[in-house]
Amino acid sequence: MSTQKESYESPLSARYADAEMKFIFSPDKKFRTWRKLWIALAQAEKELGLDITQEQIDEMADFQDEINYEVAEAREKVVRHDVMSHVYAFGEQCPKARPIIHLGATSCYVGDNTDIIVMHDALRLVRTKLVQVIRALSAFALKYKDLPTLAFTHFQPAQPTTVGKRATLWLQDLLMDLEDVEYQLSKAKLLGSKGTTGTQASFLELFDGDRQKVKKLDHLIAEKMGYQDCFAVSGQTYSRKLDSQMLSILSGIAQSAAKFSNDIRLLQHLKEVEEPFEKTQIGSSAMAYKRNPMRTERMASLARYVMVDSLNPAITAATQWFERTLDDSANKRISVPEAFLAVDGILNLYVNVTDGLVVYPKVIDQRLRKELPFMATENIMMDAVKRGADRQQLHERIRVHSMAAARVVKEEGGENDLLERIAADEAFGVTLEELAGIVRPENYVGCAPQQTEEFITETVEPLLRNYAGVSEEKTEINV
C-alpha cells in the first residue's frame, strides 16, 4: 500500500482549496517570510547605526529562498524550538551573518509578523474571488431582470418579483462582505519588533537607550515588508483580536454563500433554476435520473464549518493572559488556515455555480400563473368598482371564490380555476379573455426590473471598475 494513503490529509487541502491559497499557508511561504523579516531587521538595524555590514546582509539575501530544510529539521529534534532551528540553519548558510541573524528579536518577531502577512495575502486572494463572483452574479441579474417569478415569504407564495431582482439580494450580501474585506486590508499593520513583553527592552539596550531609534526600527521594518505601520503597542504577540476580526469577515462570506446555496437548492427542487450539471456527472448511485445540487450542498457544508470555526479565535482572543500565553498557538495553527482554505473552496464553488446557472422560464411562468389569480384579485375588484360595482359585495364574492378555488387545488389536486369563477359571476362584468389581459405577470412585479438595473449600473458596476485588473479565471471544482 502507498504510504501516501496511510496518513490523514485535510480535505480542505486535498479536495477544496486551490493551489494559490494552499501555498500562502504552506511551510515554504512561512519560512521564506521568516528570512525576509530577518533581512529587514538587519537592514533596519544597520541603517540605525548597529555594527552590521552590507556584506552580511548580501549573504543573507543570497540564501533568502534557498532554505536548507534538512538542517533545520535535524536541529529542531535537538533543541525543540522551530525558530531557533531556522536561525541555526540560516546561519549555517551565512557564516558571516550568523552573529547578527535575529539580533534583539524574540520568536514572535518572525512568527507573528509572518502570520499577519500571510493572513493579508490570503485576504487579498479572497477579495479577488469575491469580485469574480460579483461579476458573474451581476451579469446574471441583468440578463433576467425582466423575468417574472413567484416570490416567497416564509416559503409561502407572495407578490411576484423577477429572477434578476432576486439575484440582487445575493449580490447585496457580497458587496457588504467586500466592504468588510477592504476595510480590514486598509488598516493592515505589522507587529514590528516589540520584544519579549512588548516593551522593546532588548532593542533599547542595543541602541544604548536611544528611544527614537527603537521607535524608528518598527517603521523601517514595516516599510521594508511593504506595510505602512506597526501596532503602536502590544504584549509579546500582536493582539489575537486580529485573528478574530479576520475570521469574522470569513464567517460573513460563508453566511452570504450559505444563503445563496439554500436559495438555489430550493429553486432546484422547484425545477426553476439549477446549478451546472455536467454531461457525465452522476447525481445518485441508486437513482440514475437524479440531478442532486452537489455544488451548492458543498457550499452550505463548508460555510457551516467556517461559521463555527470563527468561534476559535474569538475565544482565544478572550482568554489570553496578560502579555502572552501559549494556548493560542496550536489552535490558531489550525483554525486560521482552515477558515481561509474553506472560504477559498466556497468561493471557487460560488464562481462555478453562478457562471453556469440554468434557468427554466417555462417552469417559472407555470408556477407563477398558478398563484397569480389570487394576487390579481385586488386589481380585478378595482376595475369592477370603476364600472359601478359595490366593493363590499365584490370583496365577499372574491373571498368565497378564492376559498373554493383553493379547495380545488389543495383537496382535489386540480388547477386553479379562480379566473373562470370570476368570469362566470355576473357581478364582476368581465370576460375570461379580459381577465387574461389583467393577469399578466409583468404587471405584478412592481419596480423589480428597474431596481435591478439601477442597482447594477449605479452601485455594482462603478464598484467593479475599481477591480478592472482582476482576471476572469475559470475555476476547477475538485471531485
* Residue labelled with grid coordinates 538542517: 71
CA distances for 41 relative to 61, 102, 217, 438, angstroms: 12, 7, 8, 76
- Select which of 10, 81, 269, 284 is catalytic: 284
- Select which of 154, 186, 285, 471 is catalytic: 154
How many Cβ atoms sit within 10 Å of the Cβ of residue 183?
Answer: 11
Angle at alpha carbon of residue 25, lines to 19 and 31, rounded to 5°: 120
Give the three-class secondary structure for 81. coil
- Supply 31's cell numbers: 519560512
86 is an active site residue: no
- Supply 243's cell numbers: 485573528
* Residue labelled with grid coordinates 482576471: 471
Cα(137)–Cα(27) distance, integer angstroms = 35
Name the phi and psi angles at 358, rounded to 5. -110, 125
Cα(131)–Cα(128) distance, integer angstroms = 5
Name the phi and psi angles at 301, rounded to 5. -65, -50
Burial (CB count within 10 angstroms: exposed 0-12, middle 13-18, buried 19+), residue 128: middle
In single-letter form, the type of residue at position 37 comes to: L
Cα torsion 193, 194, 200, 205: sign: negative
Cα(221)–Cα(110) distance, integer angstroms = 12
**Pick from 387, 403, 169, 368: nearest CA to 264:** 169
What are the beta bridge partners of residue 152? Answer: 157
154 is an active site residue: yes
Cα(426)–Cα(320) distance, integer angstroms = 78
How many Cβ atoms sit within 10 Å of the Cβ of residue 71?
Answer: 17
SS3 percent helix, strand, coil of the chain, rounded to 5, is 65, 5, 30
**Pick from 270, 428, 243: nearest CA to 340:** 243
How many Cβ atoms sit within 10 Å of the Cβ of residue 19?
Answer: 8
Cα(303)–Cα(300) distance, integer angstroms = 5
Cα(138)–Cα(141) distance, integer angstroms = 5
Give the three-class secondary structure for 187. coil
Cα(442)–Cα(213) distance, integer angstroms = 71
DSSP type of residue 83: H
Question: Which residues are the active-site residues?
Answer: 154, 284
